[in-house]
Chain A
């Protein structure tokens, strides 16, 4: 078993709410660690609509969801958050000293006095194609998301899907893998224009082997995948040899294991005390952002930011019992990063004008 990751606030979910909580916690000198089932931070903003604009982020008349994620990461960078990505938080156990241990599906353990669930609509789980024996090859050449593209270096890869992630990963892996085959049910792809054009260009250059309209119908290999079978409409099935099969049919969120943590759940969301601090029925466990519910709840990014801010205040009191807190403006006090960096407002000069 790997060693225990310890932190002040353990955040489950690295969507916009969880990412902003890192910043607010940092102002209070509290360290955060985030767990997310996705291989990258950003939650819905990076998984569902990274290239689409948002118009109701205060002070941004328009910002792309992917850009918002980048800005949030940049804003909290000096507070050095830790990340456990591509793993789902599975169980929570309260310890006698009042802290919690949260364990992921891969066995990674995290310990913290405060747990903030910022799980959005739930943990993003892949939509799997209906191929009979696909489960037998999971982690044996079949993957539904790409955590570390390096494992495909000089390997033969088959990607299936017709959206942005299938396009973008085909482009990326065409420089890494020894052979990239992209299979899609239709001849039309749906994605950002530049991605579609780039795939066309790579296909013309022979760097991507495009097979459309076709469906993957079978998987073969002992212990590890070594070939797939695909079928074009009105044609006999054909086989190609491959080291990996990556179906990218999108991910859909499921509340999942959190539903069994003894929290009060209403309409697939966690009930919290919105009059005070967004704490759940378990003291020390908070729920912020899309994942919580209370009278008048709105599932909006800016509401998640507010909830994250108040949650951090309550976390401060739990972690520093009895200590008083005075609100300081960032403009006035500046920001001291955990990495030793300091940001502050430039001093005005006092100088006579003669």
Chain B
């Protein structure tokens, strides 16, 4: 039985939220952030999750074993602003059981 996982997101104002994310809806982190409205509509998920805009960039603070970056994600992050070594695109992080306890901070709006 798939269960919800708990993840922690620090929004762009520095406020930390611990939220429950379902693992059976094929959601990615960007979509979960939108679901909970942790960033204003129109400032995240602009390309719909195609790794083409970097509006969902976040910094991964926990030590989770994430899936490897695709070429698209790598290319997008090479062009984005405010990129750090722990930057990832939220739309490329799928909400699976392994992501339980994930801790991320949203990158500033470009």
- Interface of A with B (CB < 8 Å)? 48-49, 52, 121-122, 127, 130, 161-163, 185-186, 188, 190, 249-250, 252-253, 255, 267-269
Roughly how many angstroms separate A269 CA and B71 CA in the complex, as a whole number? 33
- Interface of B with A (CB < 8 Å)? 37, 40-43, 46-47, 50, 52-53, 55, 71-72, 75-76, 78-79, 81, 110
B33 to chain A, nearest CB (A): 14
A127 to chain B, nearest CB (A): 6
Roughly how many angstroms separate A188 CA and B41 CA in the complex, as a whole number? 32
A35 to chain B, nearest CB (A): 20
* Residues from chain A with Cβ under 8 Å of B71 in the complex: 188, 190
Residues B53 and A250 in contact, CB atoms below 8 Å apart: yes
* Residues from chain A with Cβ under 8 Å of B72 in the complex: 190
Roughly how many angstroms separate A255 CA and B47 CA in the complex, as a whole number? 16
* Residues from chain A with Cβ under 8 Å of B55 in the complex: 252
Report, nearest first, the 10 A-B pairs whose CB atoms are least far apart.
A268-B42, A267-B41, A190-B75, A268-B41, A121-B42, A186-B78, A268-B40, A185-B78, A48-B47, A249-B79
Roughly how many angstroms separate A267 CA and B44 CA in the complex, as a whole number? 12
Residues A253 and B78 in contact, CB atoms below 8 Å apart: no
For B37, give the chain A residue with the smallest CB separation: A267
Residues A162 and B41 in contact, CB atoms below 8 Å apart: no
Interface core residue of A52, A122, A190, A267 (most chain B CB under 10 Å): A190
Roughly how many angstroms separate A12 CA and B42 CA in the complex, as a whole number? 18
Q: List 17 A-B contacts (CB under 8 A).
A: A48-B46, A49-B52, A122-B42, A162-B75, A162-B78, A163-B79, A186-B75, A186-B78, A190-B71, A250-B53, A253-B42, A253-B46, A267-B41, A267-B42, A268-B40, A268-B41, A268-B43
Roughly how many angstroms separate A185 CA and B75 CA in the complex, as a whole number? 10
* Residues from chain A with Cβ under 8 Å of B53 in the complex: 48, 250, 252
For B40, give the chain A residue with the smallest CB separation: A268
A250 to chain B, nearest CB (A): 7
Roughly how many angstroms separate A122 CA and B43 CA in the complex, as a whole number? 11
Residues B42 and A130 in contact, CB atoms below 8 Å apart: no
* Residues from chain B with Cβ under 8 Å of A121 in the complex: 42, 46
Roughly how many angstroms separate A228 CA and B50 CA in the complex, as a whole number? 33
B41 to chain A, nearest CB (A): 4
When A48-B52, A49-B50, A252-B53 are in contact, do A267 and B40 touch as well, CB less than 8 Å? Answer: yes
Interface core residue of B42, B47, B81 (most chain A CB under 10 Å): B42
A296 to chain B, nearest CB (A): 15
- Of A161, A190, A252, A267, the residue contacting B110 (CB under 8 A) is A252
A77 to chain B, nearest CB (A): 29
Roughly how many angstroms separate A197 CA and B68 CA in the complex, as a whole number? 27
